[in-house]
Each structure stands twice: as C-alpha cells, then as structure tokens.
Chain A
Amino acid sequence: MRDVAIIGAGCTKFGEMWDRSFRDIVVEAGTLAVEDAKLSGEEIEAMYVGNMSGGQFVNQEHIGSLVADFAGFASTMHIPSTRVEAACASGGLALRSAVMAVASGYHDVVVAAGVEKMTDVETGVTVDALASAADREWEGFMGATFPALYAMVARLHMHRYGTTRDQLAQVAVKNHHNAMGNPRAQFRNEITLDTVKNASMVADPLTLFDCSPITDGAAAVIVVPADQAKKYTDTPVYVLGAGQATDTISLHNRADFCTFGASVAAGKRAYEMAKVTPKDIDLCEVHDCFTIAEIVAIEDLGFFKKGQGGPATLAGETAMGGKIPINTSGGLKACGHPVGATGIKQAVECVEQLRGTAGKRQVAGAKIAMTHNVGGTGGTAVCHIFSNERRK
C-alpha cells in the first residue's frame, strides 16, 4: 500500500448561495483545488464526490457523471467518477475512497470533492431530507428529527456527567469566535453564552445556536502518491491515517449514547494507522452538528476523559491556544454545514493549518491535524490524520 499526500485544496464560501447552483459551486471548489495543486486537468485520473442528498435537495442524482461533465473531464477523458454517500459523513468518505484508490495503486491523481446545495428547497423539505440520515422507519416515522435525537444525547450526558448548559453553549461561542478568522465561514459574528441560552428553543436543551445551519458549499482536495507529491508542491500534506466505522443507524439500538461507537472505532483505526496517539494531535476538526456532538466527539477521540469534554470546553482547553484547538475553521456551527461538503472542508482546514497558511486562525507550529466526520447520529464515522511531515 502506498503512502498518500494531498497536493491541492479548494473550498467555496459557505452560506446561502441563492444565485448559484449545485454544479456551479462544486466546479468552483474543484477548480480552486486544481489551481492550488498547479495541476493540469489532463492529469486527473479519477474523482470521488461526497454528496448526501442531491436527489432531495436539488432533484439531481447521478452526481458522479454530472460533476465530471461540468468539470470538463467527462466528454473527452471519460474519467471514472463516483458519488459516495454516508449522510453527513459523505465528504469524509469521498476522501477515504480517493486515498484508497491512490494507496492501492489503481490511480495516481485523484480528486476528492464534497458538495451540498441545501437552500433551494423550503426548510421543511431540508429538515425531512436530513432526517433520512436517521432510521426512517423507527426514528423518522416516529417524529424524531436530528435536533430531537441530539437533544436526547445532551440530556443523558448532562444527567450522567453533570454537563451544563453553559458548557454546551461555550462550544458555539468558541466556534463563532474561530469563524471570525475564516473568510469562508457562514457566520462571522461573535456571540456570548447568553446569545445561545436565550435563543429560540429547538429541542430542549438545544436552542437555535446549539445547532449547525443549513448551508450551500463545496470543497475539494487532490490526492497523489506521497512519492510524487513534491513534483507538484513544496508543501504536501501527508495522509498518515484513515479510519472508517459504523454503528447502529438508530440511537435507540445503542447500549449507550453518551459515546458514539463509530467515532471511537474510526478514531482508533486512524491513530493506529498513523502510529500516533491523541496527545500527538495539534488540532482537530470535529463534527459539531450540535454543540453536544462536539463534546461527545472530543471525549470519544481521546482528547478528554468521558464526562470531561464539557468542563474542558468551558475552561478554554479546546479554544485557540488551548490544549487542543478544536474546529479552528469555525466548525459546522459557524463555518456552516453543507452536509456532503463538510468532510472535505475539514480536510481543507487541516491542509491550510499544516501549510501554515491559516492566517488569523493559524495554530502555531501545527504538525499533525485530524478530522472527524459523522453521518447521522453516529451510524458512520470517518477520521483522517494528516501531517506536514512524511511518515517515518
């Protein structure tokens, strides 16, 4: 198996892009990544596109062909292009698929992209489309939406570990603060604990500001064999580890939902492959679709003991300059959450941090960065570990 490196990364602005279409944004992200890699389009051999629900959001399936076509790789090059789907983990899974394609030797230059256009339908349609990431028969038909499911996680976590309303709110406050340094972020405004606590209730205890938004956006990275990376760039970012895992799709079939088994397993597999431990990670982009999700994630990935995620967050240990900066991009909460694009955006953030080009949100001296991308309430989790130094 060959080592793999990322040589180019691109990401659109995240937000409500009323005047742009699905294909516009994914082609923009891909073009940015190709330009960043100083690549010629003819060198691209294959493409994996993470997309959760083009069918429900824009009535478009057959995403692989569509994206290859409008990227200009279909009609003459006829490259293989594959859409991958694992709900909100579709982006992370697209990257893992691209990494495997290169590692296996099948292809040398592969694009991993993620895209979602969520604002072309009414909010109710969006909410229902997102609910298809849960168990439709046993959760969806019973009226459970994602805020409701994550609210149950929050309630149990609060009950068992004493996690507080302020600790949850601090996740949103921190991520909004981080987004101030990210020109691509959907929300670039400071908020306070009171902003979160006084916002409209969505699913007790989660208010509007505990929830990630509905977002349009796309991101792309280019992966090549590590041995060839320096041919394209002086600053390749190496993929040290990749882990993917599943758990029961429904929350009620878990023995415990204060921990997401898929996150633990995917993290463990990525750590083992990268031969690093949580202590070695300089920054991590975790899947904060709700504030409680970030607290559960930083515990499941081993940065904090179970039950300590909340106090650590309130104490600033996950803030810029803290023990382990979490979601320097602003996370799903403030950078935005175009569901199929999020996993790739997390990788783009890690690439910029490891190149030292993250500007105001730069983690000084970052050497190892990690992503954690979750589908549904943890039915799928995908983790990647990156470094600006090649595996020894």
Chain B
Amino acid sequence: MKLGISAYGAYVPRYRIKVDEIAKVWGDDADDYKNGLMVMEKSVPDMDEDTATISVEAARNALLRGADPKKIGAIYVGSESHPYAVKPTATIVAAAIGAGPKMTASDFEFACKAGTAAIQACMGVVAAGIAETAMAIGADTSQGAPGDALEYTAAAGGAALVISKTDHIAVINHTCSYTTDTPDFWRREGADYPRHGGRFTGDPGYFKHVLSASKMMLESQGTKPGDYDYAVFHQPNGKFPTRAAHTLGFTKEQIKQGLTCPKMGNTYSGASMVGLSAVLDVAKPGDRIFVTSFGSGAGSDSFDITVTDRITEVQDLAPKTWDYIKDAKYIDYAIYAKHKGKINVDH
C-alpha cells in the first residue's frame, strides 16, 4: 500500500513589511539582520486574518486541485497561533470547506513542526482505514515580541496537504522523526509572545534535530543528497536551512525553489509545508523531494517524496505559492502594528 499526497494548496497573506522598516523602529542595523538571518521581508496578515482563515484559504486551494471534501475523514491543523485556546481550528476549516460531519478533527501543536506532525497523523488514519482521505494543515500568524529578534521573521501563511491511498500527485516513500526534550523556544499558557534560548536554538535545537532526522532518512532509504531534485528544510530564517543543506551535502539549487523564508518570513507551523507547496508547484513527474521540518521543544519529521504523473494535471488549478509571495503590498510599522493587534483598541 502506498500513501501519498492527492492534493495540496498554500496561502500567503498579501501584506509585507521590510526588515528595514522594523529595524528603523527599534534602532537596529537592518543589514545585520538581512545578512545574519537572510530575511528581507515578511508577510503580515490583514486585520481579520488568523490561523483559521489562512487554513481555510489553503484548504480551498487543495479543493481546487481536486480534493473532495466529502471524502475527507480527518482534518488536523497544526499551529502555534490557534485563535482559540479551547475550541478547535480544525472544525472551522471543516465547516468552511464542506467537510464532515462524519469525520474526525483536531488541532495540533508542536511549535514549528505541528503541520508535518499532522501529515504523519493523516498517514496513520488513512493507512488504518479510519479515513479515506485526510487533510493536514500547517498555518500560523506567528508571534514575535516587539523588538525581539523573532519580530524580523515571524510571518503569516500556511499550506494544506490531502493524504490518501489513491489519486496521488506525489507518493510519500517514507517518513521518520527525531524527537527529544529540548527547551529551545516556548510560549507559556496565557503568554502573548514566545521566548527562546538565543543561540541555544541553533546547534542544540534546530541543527541537532534537522541533521539527525535527515541522516536517519538518508540511511533508511539508502539515498544520497544527489538523488533528490528538491530539498526543503524548516526555514525559521534563510540561513539555517541553507547551512543545514550545505552540511548534509545538498546544493543551493536543490533548496532554492522551496526557500520561501527570505521573501516572506517564517510561518512557523506552515514554514516547511509552504516550502513543499512551492516545490510541488513546479515539480515534474518522477522528481524526488526531500523534506525535513523542525519544531522547537524539539523534533524533526523527515519525508522522502516522489512526484507522480498526475502532478501536471493539478498544478495550474489553484494559485501558486511564489505567485502569492510576489503579490506583495508593503506596509509601514504603524499599519503592521494595527494588523498584528499590537495596538490596544479595547477602550
């Protein structure tokens, strides 16, 4: 039995703020951040956009690419910014796209890899025959405290994948994970913004897990980086995935298409899946894709994916990821602060 992706869709809000504009407000050196993080600008949600609306947009694009909502037996939404602490985002998405009610749904949280954890859960329910198809969504209106380094990258966007046994546009050859208890980044209950361990988020956090999961995948599949046409690594900034790729032996050409962060920022739970969507937009039948996500706390999920002939039938049926990214409307910090709810209007 093969499991794979039968439809996909991504969504990125239109608004952008440049790193220069944020640096101006805080008196930081914009070039330090642009060079240090390899991020030029980030996406900003509109005032009425949240993880639920972004998830719905991404899910609707998956529907445009052929997913039948009545065949969806499970919807799992991974995010760090679910609008409700208690009340699922997944049920909002299900209702909005006409799925259910004879289905299961739930929200996932595993920092930036909740979306790929949802993919694995979908693979499970489909393989077990609990659902005919299942939808995994990773989406976020990422939080970063004003003035914190995270503010330069915390962006908005998401992607949806439909997992099934048939009608594949891409087959998932294998998935594996590497998980430890590593407190590199966290947000406590009731806190508005996450906290992080600074440089501790690097080697012991991101790199340890991304490299370990990736090496596990290469070993279990008996493959080399050169066997893949594309690679996507979780992208909290532009620099980390570039360094991870280089360390593993992947080339800049392999990661270029999925490296969306420099132009749209880090969409946390959406980041790896938005990158994968950008690759699926252009992949050709037979192309092989390597994906490794990362979530703080910490863990990485790795996927070995082979694109099928059906990909070309669906690519043009919905807006493409890079088209969303290029359709940018720039705003200043004041408008950004209003959009992100950083200005208190409860009075």
Chain A: residues with CB nearer than 8 A to chain B? 16, 18-19, 119, 122-123, 200-201
A200-B29, A201-B29 known; A19 vs B197 contact (CB < 8 Å): no
Inter-subunit contact A18/B203 (CB<8 Å) = yes
Across the interface, name the chain B residue whose C-beta is closest to A200.
B32
Q: Is the interface of B mostly helix, strand, loop or mixed?
A: helix
Inter-subunit contact A122/B197 (CB<8 Å) = yes
What residues on A are CB-neighbors of B197 within 8 Å? 122
Chain B: residues with CB nearer than 8 A to chain A? 29, 32, 197-200, 203-204
- Please, how many angstroms separate the alpha-carbon atoms of A170 and B109 in the complex? 49
- Please, how many angstroms separate the alpha-carbon atoms of A28 and B32 in the complex? 38
Inter-subunit contact B200/A18 (CB<8 Å) = yes
Cβ contact of B198, chosen from A19, A122, A201, cutoff 8 A: A122
Inter-subunit contact B198/A16 (CB<8 Å) = no
- Shortest distance between the CB of A126 and any CB in chain B (Å): 10
- Please, how many angstroms separate the alpha-carbon atoms of A119 and B200 in the complex? 8
- Please, how many angstroms separate the alpha-carbon atoms of A106 and B194 in the complex? 55
- Please, how many angstroms separate the alpha-carbon atoms of A122 and B183 in the complex? 13
Of the listed residues A18, A19, A122, A123, the one surrounded by the most CB atoms of chain B closer than 10 A to its CB is A18
What residues on B are CB-neighbors of A19 within 8 Å? 204
What residues on A are CB-neighbors of B203 within 8 Å? 16, 18
- Shortest distance between the CB of B333 and any CB in chain A (Å): 22
Q: Is the interface of A mostly helix, strand, loop or mixed?
A: loop
What residues on B are CB-neighbors of A201 within 8 Å? 29
- Please, how many angstroms separate the alpha-carbon atoms of A201 and B200 in the complex? 23
Q: List 15 contacting pairs A-B, 8 Å CB cutoff, sorted by A.
A: A16-B199, A16-B203, A18-B200, A18-B203, A18-B204, A19-B204, A119-B199, A119-B200, A122-B197, A122-B198, A123-B198, A123-B199, A200-B29, A200-B32, A201-B29
- Shortest distance between the CB of B110 and any CB in chain A (Å): 21
What residues on B are CB-neighbors of A200 within 8 Å? 29, 32
- Please, how many angstroms separate the alpha-carbon atoms of A200 and B32 in the complex? 7
* The 5 nearest A-B residue pairs measured at CB: A18-B204, A200-B32, A123-B198, A122-B198, A18-B200
Q: A16-B199, A16-B203, A19-B204 are in contact. List 8 more A-B contacts (CB 8 A).
A: A18-B203, A119-B199, A122-B197, A122-B198, A123-B198, A123-B199, A200-B29, A201-B29
- Please, how many angstroms separate the alpha-carbon atoms of A123 and B204 in the complex? 16
- Shortest distance between the CB of B205 and any CB in chain A (Å): 9
What residues on B are CB-neighbors of A122 within 8 Å? 197-198
What residues on A are CB-neighbors of B29 within 8 Å? 200-201
Across the interface, name the chain B residue whose C-beta is closest to A214.
B199
What residues on B are CB-neighbors of A123 within 8 Å? 198-199
What residues on A are CB-neighbors of B200 within 8 Å? 18, 119
Across the interface, name the chain B residue whose C-beta is closest to A18.
B204
What residues on A are CB-neighbors of B198 within 8 Å? 122-123
Across the interface, name the chain A residue whose C-beta is closest to B184.
A18
- Please, how many angstroms separate the alpha-carbon atoms of A119 and B197 in the complex? 10
- Shortest distance between the CB of B152 and any CB in chain A (Å): 14
What residues on B are CB-neighbors of A18 within 8 Å? 200, 203-204
- Please, how many angstroms separate the alpha-carbon atoms of A18 and B298 in the complex? 15
- Please, how many angstroms separate the alpha-carbon atoms of A271 and B325 in the complex? 68
- Please, how many angstroms separate the alpha-carbon atoms of A19 and B29 in the complex? 32
- Shortest distance between the CB of B278 and any CB in chain A (Å): 32
- Please, how many angstroms separate the alpha-carbon atoms of A200 and B28 in the complex? 10
- Please, how many angstroms separate the alpha-carbon atoms of A19 and B203 in the complex? 11
What residues on B are CB-neighbors of A16 within 8 Å? 199, 203
- Please, how many angstroms separate the alpha-carbon atoms of A250 and B197 in the complex? 32
- Shortest distance between the CB of A123 and any CB in chain B (Å): 5
- Please, how many angstroms separate the alpha-carbon atoms of A119 and B203 in the complex? 13
Across the interface, name the chain B residue whose C-beta is closest to A199.
B32
- Please, how many angstroms separate the alpha-carbon atoms of A382 and B292 in the complex? 52
- Please, how many angstroms separate the alpha-carbon atoms of A19 and B200 in the complex? 11
Across the interface, name the chain B residue whose C-beta is closest to A19.
B204
- Shortest distance between the CB of B182 and any CB in chain A (Å): 9
- Shortest distance between the CB of B200 and any CB in chain A (Å): 6
- Shortest distance between the CB of A312 and any CB in chain B (Å): 32
Across the interface, name the chain A residue whose C-beta is closest to B36.
A200
- Please, how many angstroms separate the alpha-carbon atoms of A122 and B204 in the complex? 15
- Shortest distance between the CB of B26 and any CB in chain A (Å): 14
- Please, how many angstroms separate the alpha-carbon atoms of A201 and B28 in the complex? 10
- Shortest distance between the CB of B325 and any CB in chain A (Å): 29
- Please, how many angstroms separate the alpha-carbon atoms of A61 and B185 in the complex? 28
- Shortest distance between the CB of A148 and any CB in chain B (Å): 16
- Please, how many angstroms separate the alpha-carbon atoms of A392 and B175 in the complex? 73
- Shortest distance between the CB of B209 and any CB in chain A (Å): 13
Of the listed residues B29, B197, B203, B204, the one surrounded by the most CB atoms of chain A closer than 10 A to its CB is B197
- Please, how many angstroms separate the alpha-carbon atoms of A7 and B199 in the complex? 38
Across the interface, name the chain B residue whose C-beta is closest to A201.
B29
- Please, how many angstroms separate the alpha-carbon atoms of A119 and B29 in the complex? 25
Across the interface, name the chain B residue whose C-beta is closest to A208.
B32
- Please, how many angstroms separate the alpha-carbon atoms of A352 and B204 in the complex? 32
- Please, how many angstroms separate the alpha-carbon atoms of A19 and B204 in the complex? 9
Across the interface, name the chain A residue whose C-beta is closest to B196.
A122
